Amino acid sequence: MRRGWFLPIAAALGFSFLYAPIVSLVIFSFNESRLVTVWSGFSTKWYGELFRDPQMLGAAWLSLQIAAISATIALVLGTLAAVALVRFRRFKGRTLFSGMVSAPLVMPDVITGLSLLLLFVAMEGFLGWPQGRGMLTIVIAHSTFCTAYVCVVVQSRLSDFDRSLEEAAMDLGASPVRTFFDITLPIIAPALVSGWLLGFTLSLDDLVIASFVSGPGSSTLPMVIFSKVRLGVSPDVNALATIIIGLVASGVLIATIIQLRSKPKRAKA
Amino acid sequence: MAKKTTQLAIDTRPWRDTANNKPFVRIKNVTKKFGDVLAVHDVSLDIYKSELFCLLGGSGSGKSTLLRMLAGFEQPTSGTIEIDGQDMTEVPPYNRPVNMMFQSYALFPHMSVEQNIAYGLKRDNLPKGEINDRVAELLSLVKLQDYGRRKPHQLSGGQRQRVALARALAKRPKLLLLDEPLGALDKKLREETQFELVKIQESLGVTFIVVTHDQEEAMTLATRIGVMNLGEIAMVGEPTDIYEFPNSRFVAGFIGSANMVEGKVTEDEPGHVRIRSAELGCDIYVGHGVDCAPAQILWWAIRPEKMSLSREKPQTPHDANVTSGIVEEIAYLGDISLYQVALESGKRIRVSQTNSVRGNPDAITWDERVFVTWSDSSGSVLTV
C-alpha cells in the first residue's frame, strides 16, 4: 500500500504539539540573555549560575532523596499488595482492598494532599509523631500514592505468571521463601524495575501533595521552581529543566531497553 | 504393545500377589473437595515399586488433582497418602521424596538447561563436583549433551520435554509423577518419546505415575492403568484386562470402541448364560457363568475386531450368536476395514475385518446383506 501525505503530516503535527514546548525550553536554556523570550546568542552561563545556587541544589538533592526513598517503600508495599491480590483469590474484603489500593490513582492530588495534611496534624496532636512537617511527611505521602502505581504494574505481571514454575521449584526442594527469591523475583524483576522508576518519576514531579505536607526548610524542587516562576521566569530554571529532561529521558530509555531484552524470552518460553 | 518378554519371564507383577508384596504408594480413601465441587471421591489405590502406573481419564475426572495430592500441592480433604511406608499427607512438597514433571514443563526461563537440572541438587547442598557430574550424566541420558548452556526458549518442544524429564529425575526420586508428559508433542515425536520414556523408567527402576487422557499412550506405557471417571476410580488393571475384560459400561465405552447392546437374561446356568437382545435381533450365548439373576436386564459389549462378517449364514451352536444386517458404511484403513452394519432393529454395529488379501475384488461391499457372528467368549457381560 502506498502511504499518502496525510499520515506523515498528522504524525509531525502530533509530535510538535507534544514536544515543541520542551524543545523551545531546551534551546532557551542556552540563551545568553536574561530575558527568557529574547535570543541573544549561545551560552552555558545559566548552567554555571544554577550550580552556584545553593537553594536550587539543595531542593534538587532533597527531591532526589525523597523520590528514591518513597519509590523503594512503594515498591515493597505495592508488590506485597499485588501478591495478595493475585495469589489469594478469595479473602474477606478482597474487592474493598483492590478498590482501595487503586483509589489513589484517580484521587485528585489536592484531596490527597489535604487529607494527608489533616492526618499528620491530628497524629502529631495525639501521638506526637511525626513531629512537624518536612522530609518524613513528604516521603510518607509519596509512598502512599506510588504504592498504587507499583501495585498495578506488578499485578499485571503476576497475573500472567505461570504458577507451575513455583510449584516446580518447591517440588525440587526449595522452601516457599527460597522459591520466591530464586524464581518469582527474577521473573517479575522487569515489572519491579518499571514500577520503581514510575514511582521515582511521579515523586520527583509532584508539586501539589508536597506543597500540602512539607514544612519550612523542606521545599522540593518542583516547589522551588514554582515559587521562582511566580516571580518571573529566570533562565537558570530552563537549565535545570533541561538537566531533568536529560535524566528522565535516559531513565526511560534504560527501562525500555530492559523491557525489550526480557520480552522475546517471555514470548517463546 | 506390552513390555519386553524378558520382563514377563521374571514375573514383575507384584499386584498379582498382594499377600507377599507391600505397596509402595498407598492412597487410602482420599477425597478432595474444592468448595462444593467433589474433585476426587473416596479413591483407594495401591501402587507397587517400579511400576509405570497410568491414571487415565477425561478432563475433570480428577486424575490431575490426585497427582497434585501425591506431589503435595493439594491437601486431601480426607484420607491419607503413604509413600514407602511413611504417611505423607501433611508433608509439604519440598520435603517429599517425590518429583514431578509438569504438563507445561515449567522450566525456569531465566536459567540455562544445566542450571535447571542442577536446581534440585543445589537445594540438597551437594558438593559442586558431584552436581556437575550428575548434570552431565542426566544430559547424556536424555541425549542433550550439547545443549547444557542454552536457555529453555532456545529449545524445541521435544528438547524441552527431555530437559523437564532430566530435571525431575535429577534428585533420584523414589517416585516420579508425570502430568501429561507427551501432551504437547506432535504425534510422531510422541510415539518415539513413549518408548524412550519406558526405557528410562526400566533402566532406572523408578516408580512412575503418569496422568494422561490419551488411551493409546496409557496402553503403550503402562504396567497397570487406573481409569478415572467423575472423581472415582472406575477400574484398575493391566492394559489387557481393561481392554478385554471391562468391568462397566463406562470402561468398555471409554477404552477403544465397543458395540453395546441391552438384553434380558433368559437362561442362567453355572456354565453358561443366554441373553435375549431385541436390539441385536438374536440370542447371545455366553460360554461361562455370570453373576446375574434370571430375567435381569443387562448389557453386553463386544469389540469390532471380535466379530466376523460373511455372505452365507454360518452354522452356530445353540442357535445364537449370529445376526444379519445391511452394510451401510465402509472405512478402509489399510490394514483393516471398518464396516458399519445396520441391523433390522435399526441398531448399528461396527465390525472390523483384516485385509489379508491384497486388493480383494470379492470383498464385501456397500448395501450387501451380511451375517455377523462371534464366539461365545468374545463379548463382555456388564451389569453396571
pLDDT tens digits, one per residue of B227-236: 999 999 999 9
Q: Residue A21 domain-assigned?
A: no
A45-49, B35-39, B141-145, B182-186, range with the lowest pLDDT: B182-186
Q: Residue A46 domain-assigned?
A: no
Which residue, B141, B143, B137, B176, is CA-closest to B158? B143
Q: Which residue has the higher pLDDT, A56 or B122?
A: B122
**Measured between CB atoms, does B152 come within 8 Å of chain A?**
yes
What is the distance between the alpha carbons of residues B280 and B320, in angstroms, rounded to a whole number?
11
pLDDT score, position B11: 60
Chain B residues close to A162, C-beta within 8 Å: 104, 106
* Residue A79 and residue A197 in one domain: yes
Instruction: Read off the pLDDT of each residue in A104-131 and give the average, rounded to a whole number.
Output: 90
Helix spans in chain B (H)? 5-9, 63-71, 113-123, 128-141, 157-169, 187-204, 215-221, 239-244, 249-254
Residue A254: which domain range?
233-269
* Residue A191 and residue A255 in one domain: no
- As a dihedral over the C-alpha atoms of residue A73, residue A77, residue A79, residue A80, rounded to 10 degrees, the angle is 150
Mean residue pLDDT of chain A comes to 87
Angle between helices A235-268 and A221-230 (to 10 degrees): 140
* Residue A240 and residue A222 in one domain: no
What is the distance between the alpha carbons of residues B165 and B176, in angstroms, rounded to a whole number?
9
pLDDT in tens, B146-182: 999 999 999 998 899 999 999 999 999 989 999 999 8
Q: Which of A167-171, A220-224, B18-22, B363-367 has the highest mean pLDDT?
A: A167-171
* Residue A221 and residue A258 in one domain: no
Q: How far is CA A59 from CA A116, A223, A250, B38, B326, in A?
A: 22, 8, 21, 63, 96
Q: Are strands B322-332 and B369-373 parallel, antiparallel or unpaired?
A: antiparallel
Confidence of residue A266 (pLDDT cuts 50, 70, 90): very low
pLDDT score, position B22: 87
Q: Residue A196 domain-assigned?
A: yes
pLDDT score, position B250: 93
pLDDT score, position B83: 93
Q: Which three cell numbers stand for residue A74?
A: 512503594
Q: Residue A69 domain-assigned?
A: yes
Q: Tell me the β-bridge partners of B382.
A: B299
Decide: B334 and B349 in contact? Cβ < 8 Å. Answer: no
What is the distance between the alpha carbons of residues A170 and A159, in angstroms, rounded to a whole number?
20
pLDDT score, position B186: 82
**Measured between CB atoms, does B153 come within 8 Å of chain A?**
yes
Nearest to A174 among B98, B109, B123 (CB): B123
A1-10, A78-87, A127-136, B120-129, range with the lowest pLDDT: A1-10
Q: Are strands B232-237 and B224-229 parallel, antiparallel or unpaired?
A: antiparallel
pLDDT in tens, B239-248: 999 999 999 9
Say which amino acid occupies B112: S
A2-11, A180-189, B141-150, range with the lowest pLDDT: A2-11
* Residue A248 and residue A216 in one domain: no
Say which amino acid occupies A2: R
B35 to chain A: nearest residue by CA? A90
Confidence of residue B366 (pLDDT cuts 50, 70, 90): very high
Sign, CA dihedral A232-A233-A236-A241, equals positive
Query: With 90 as the cut, is the pLDDT of residue B342 above it?
Result: yes
Instruction: Read off the pLDDT of each residue in B297-323 and give the average, rounded to a whole number.
Output: 91
- At A88 the three-state DSSP class reads coil
Interface test with A, best of B70, B102, B115, B167 (most A CBs within 10 A): B102
Q: Please tell me the total count of domains within chain A.
A: 2
Chain B residues close to A172, C-beta within 8 Å: 94, 99, 119-120, 123, 167, 170-171
The helix or strand, by DSSP H or E, that contains position A32, with its residue range, turns out to be none
pLDDT score, position B5: 46
* Residue A213 and residue A149 in one domain: yes
Instruction: Read off the pLDDT of each residue in A211-236 and give the average, rounded to a whole number.
Output: 86
Apex B246 CA angle, B242 and B248, nearest 5 = 135
Other Cβ atoms within 10 Å of A215 Cβ, number: 16
Q: What is the share, in percent, of chain A residues with pLDDT greater than 70?
A: 96
Q: What is the pTM of this model?
A: 0.79
Strand order of the β-sheet with B232-237 is B98-101, B175-179, B207-212, B52-57, B224-229, B232-237
Nearest to A265 among B99, B104, B109 (CB): B109
Q: How far is CA A12 from CA A2, A25, A28, in A?
A: 18, 19, 22
Residue holding cell 463379548? B379
Query: With 80 as the cut, is the pLDDT of residue B109 above it?
Result: yes
Q: Residue A195 domain-assigned?
A: yes
Query: With 90 as the cut, is the pLDDT of residue A167 above it?
Result: yes
Q: Are strands B380-382 and B259-268 parallel, antiparallel or unpaired?
A: unpaired
Instruction: Read off the pLDDT of each residue in A49-53 and give the average, rounded to a whole number.
Output: 86
What is the distance between the alpha carbons of residues B24 and B13, in angstroms, rounded to a whole number?
13
* Residue A198 and residue A212 in one domain: yes
Query: With 70 as the cut, is the pLDDT of residue A263 above it?
Result: no
Q: Residue A263 domain-assigned?
A: yes
pLDDT in tens, B7-55: 443 466 888 887 778 899 999 999 999 988 999 999 999 999 989 999 9
**Measured between CB atoms, does B16 come within 8 Å of chain A?**
no
pLDDT score, position B7: 47
Q: Residue A15 domain-assigned?
A: no
Confidence of residue B195 (pLDDT cuts 50, 70, 90): confident
pLDDT score, position B9: 38
Q: Which three cell numbers stand for residue A63?
A: 527531591
pLDDT in tens, B276-286: 999 999 999 99
**Cα Rg for chain A, rounded, in angstroms?**
23
How far is A95 from chain B, CA to nearest CA, in Å?
20
Interface test with B, best of A172, A181, A265 (most B CBs within 10 A): A172
What is the distance between the alpha carbons of residues B157 and B161, in angstroms, rounded to a whole number?
6
* Residue A126 and residue A179 in one domain: yes
Chain A residues close to B135, C-beta within 8 Å: none
Which residue, B125, B121, B109, B159, is CA-closest to B139? B159
| Number of Cβ pairs < 8 A linking chain A and chain B | 70
- At B216 the three-state DSSP class reads helix
Residue holding cell 484386562? B241
Q: Tell me the β-bridge partners of B34.
A: B37
* Residue A126 and residue A146 in one domain: yes
Q: Tell me the β-bridge partners of B383.
A: none
Nearest to A187 among B71, B93, B109 (CB): B109
Chain A residues close to B123, C-beta within 8 Å: 172-174, 178
A51-55, B14-18, B62-66, range with the lowest pLDDT: B14-18
Could you tell me which residues of chain A have a Cβ less than 8 Å from any Cβ in chain B? 162, 164-165, 167-175, 178, 182-183, 186-187, 264-266, 268-269
How far is A238 from chain B, CA to nearest CA, in Å?
44
How many Cα atoms sit within 13 Å of B111 on the Cβ side? 21
pLDDT in tens, A232-256: 777 888 888 888 888 878 878 887 7
* Residue A138 and residue A253 in one domain: no
Q: Residue A12 domain-assigned?
A: no
Nearest to A172 among B92, B109, B119 (CB): B119
CA diameter of chain B: 77
How far is B161 from chain A, CA to nearest CA, in Å?
12
A176 to chain B: nearest residue by CA? B94
**Cα Rg for chain B, rounded, in angstroms?**
25
* Residue A56 and residue A92 in one domain: yes
* Residue A135 and residue A257 in one domain: no
pLDDT score, position B4: 47
Decide: B232 and B79 in contact? Cβ < 8 Å. Answer: no
